[in-house]
Structure 1
Amino acid sequence: MASDLNNALPNGLYQGGTLGVYNGVRIKEQRGRSGVDTTTGTGTAQRTWLVSGSESPQVARAALVDGPVLIDQYDGMFRGSLEYDIGPSPDSWEFTAHYSAAVPDIGGYTVSIDTTGGTILQTASYEQTRYAIAGKQAPDFHKAIDVQDGAPQGVQRIIPALKINVRAKIPTEFVYSPMRYSKLIARLTGTTNIASMFDDEFEPGSLLFAGASGDVVAEDPQLTFTFLASENATGLSIGGISGITKPGHAYAWALFDTDKDSTTGLLVSKPRAIYVDKIYGDADHDLLKIGHPPTVSA
């Protein structure tokens, strides 16, 4: 099993000599470790090794990746890339690993969010206060908003909106083939979750899968999946109509009647019915295998 064999010095560099040997290839810490800390959780770091004993970069890379030196994680961050260049001799190679807090481990994921809010056109208010000019009475529009020529114009309202970007590294065994997995992503895009997701934090119907981006490579692809979250609601009251149930991504709208206000005799708009339309189909988002660790040993 891999183990970190180097001994840190007070200046952050490492003891001279060999860190490890793998199939006759020697691995040595070349320039110690460096990094950048941030207050936003987006820190980075890098480590550099000199790998010698083979003129083949593939053999040298295998010695570093599969050998006794731990390179996949450092300081709570994950290895995102590994670059290499020819070393000081024909049989040596210099490898530099770049680490990021935003790169998940295989079968893991990281989350970034955006809660700047969405908007809807709302035509009926939760509460309405009327003020009339002296000597006149304000008609009761039954909470219809901005009624002009007998029709409510409504107002754009900011609503709770949670956009979730999940960066995940999917184990190779769940990909089958890059094209097949890509087709699966496409089929699931524009659907809501049929079962609870992410440790049951999101109940069925509250997550809308908006698609994914990234390179679907054959081995452990790292992709960014985008979800829109909206809570399911029950017991709503809109325009005097109560007992309304609205799934998070359903669309609710009101049908208005023209009625005569009993006090003023003026024509007013009054909600007659509330409709809740389901506009997205359901699907099993667990098929994406986000957060599923590999079950097949490497």
Structure 2
Amino acid sequence: MASDLNNNLPNGLYQGGSLGIFNGIRIKEQRGRSGVETTSGTGTAQRTWLVSNTENPQAAKAALIDGPVLINEFDGKFIESLEWDTGLSSDSWEFTAHYSAAVPNLGSYTVSIDTTGGTILQTTSYEQTRFAIAGKQAPDFKKAIDVQDGAPQGVQRIIPTLKINVRAKIPTEFIYSPMRYAKLIARLTGTTNVAPMFDDEFAPGELLFAGASGDVVAEDPQLSFTFLASENATDLSIGGISGITKPGHAYAWALFDTDKDSTTGLLVSKPRAIYVDKIYGGADHDLLKIGHAPTVSA
């Protein structure tokens, strides 16, 4: 894997003891950069600078953040934290930036997934084979599952379930106030998307917003958003009833009739109708501003 760890920086601040100067404050990157890469594609790294010619730690930090040294991104990773301590003299400060591949850049996001299964009670099967004792015939239950006393008991079935955890850094300009943004998240929780999301990978109705967690700080908060994904379905066939349309997070269920099996004369259950119920309301998930780059210059 290509890496620029422990190589000279393109701007020369690391090479040969060169210095960066900002408002009279000197910035020098110390040797000893380090990093870790994993086979799963994650990793961490860190860099250290000596900032001198000021006794004010806030001025030193501002010079490092706003000055000529690019510190937000390093080795394909984004800054997670910045720590500082006094240097060898009263007018010097040592800053260490920690970087992580799991931290998104401002206006960007990272994605982790979990597909460990959801289940539903399924009362009709896709295909049913009958076997009867010698001299008897098995009645046709029209694919109803485990019919006891005239009612299908069904079976728990694992269904495709995609849980998406999105870690995003939201630009300050979209926050307005931490409490207002928190209330927005609360209002959108438990709703499905009314417009395509994430580069149009998910059609309207396929994403259910399950909420967010994190500290809604006043400046560029980094939050974790959870979505449940389920594909919309069209032209389904259930229990002999075809042409069924089911949005991803709607609930489908069957109404059963009791009928007489034409072969055996026994009473059997068979689907009479399929109902598709809308459980969740829709909302504009773009209001969360996930993946929106800032439009206002810092």
TM-score, reference length from structure 2: 0.94
Q: How many residues align?
A: 290
Q: CA deviation at 1:199?
A: 1.1
Contact 1:19 1:69 in 2 (8 A): no
Q: CA deviation at 1:16?
A: 4.9
Aligned mates of 2:195, 2:73 — CA distance in 1: 33
Amino acid at match of 1:284: D
Which ranges of structure 2 fall in alignment gaps of 5 or more residues? 1-5
Amino acid at match of 2:189: T
Q: CA deviation at 1:89?
A: 1.1
Aligned mates of 2:94, 2:132 — CA distance in 1: 81
Q: CA deviation at 1:53?
A: 1.1
Q: What SS is found at the alignment partner of 1:58? A: helix
Question: Residue 280 of structure 1 aligns with which residue?
Answer: 280
| Match status 1:62 vs 2:52 | no
> Within 5 A, what are the aligned runs for 1:169-184?
169-184=169-184
Aligned mates of 1:74, 1:8 — CA distance in 2: 12
Q: What SS is found at the alignment partner of 1:166? A: strand
| Match status 1:128 vs 2:133 | no
Amino acid at match of 1:158: I
Question: Residue 217 of structure 2 aligns with which residue?
Answer: 217
Question: Residue 137 of structure 2 aligns with which residue?
Answer: 137
Q: CA deviation at 1:17?
A: 2.6
Which ranges of structure 1 fall in alignment gaps of 5 or more residues? 1-5
Contact 1:164 1:226 in 2 (8 A): yes
> Within 5 A, what are the aligned runs for 1:23-102?
23-102=23-102
Q: CA deviation at 1:66?
A: 0.7
Question: Residue 242 of structure 2 aligns with which residue?
Answer: 242
Q: Once structures 1 and 2 are overlaid, which stretch shifts more, 53-62 or 18-27?
A: 18-27
Q: What SS is found at the alignment partner of 2:30? A: strand
Amino acid at match of 2:244: I
Q: Once structures 1 and 2 are overlaid, which stretch shifts more, 152-161 or 184-193?
A: 152-161
Q: What SS is found at the alignment partner of 1:180? A: helix
Q: CA deviation at 1:15?
A: 4.0
1:76-132, Cα deviation, whole Å (9 max, x unpaired): 100010011111111111111000111111111111111122111100001101111
1:59-88, Cα deviation, whole Å (9 max, x unpaired): 110111111111111111000100111111
Aligned mates of 1:136, 1:83 — CA distance in 2: 81
Amino acid at match of 1:127: E
Aligned mates of 2:241, 2:104 — CA distance in 1: 47
Aligned mates of 1:39, 1:241 — CA distance in 2: 49
Aligned mates of 2:23, 2:34 — CA distance in 1: 28
Contact 1:14 1:32 in 2 (8 A): no
Question: Residue 187 of structure 2 aligns with which residue?
Answer: 187
1:200-223, Cα deviation, whole Å (9 max, x unpaired): 111000000000011101111111
1:147-173, Cα deviation, whole Å (9 max, x unpaired): 111111111111111111111111111
TM-score, reference length from structure 1: 0.94
Aligned mates of 1:275, 1:267 — CA distance in 2: 23
Q: What SS is found at the alignment partner of 1:127? A: coil
User: Structure 1 segments of 4 or more deviating over 6 A?
Assistant: none
Question: Residue 154 of structure 1 aligns with which residue?
Answer: 154
Amino acid at match of 2:69: V
Question: Residue 3 of structure 1 aligns with which residue?
Answer: none
Amino acid at match of 1:134: A
Q: CA deviation at 1:249?
A: 0.1
Question: Residue 292 of structure 1 aligns with which residue?
Answer: 292
Contact 2:14 2:28 in 1 (8 A): no
Identity of matched residues, %:
86
Q: CA deviation at 1:7?
A: 7.0
Contact 1:192 1:281 in 2 (8 A): yes
Contact 1:18 1:26 in 2 (8 A): no
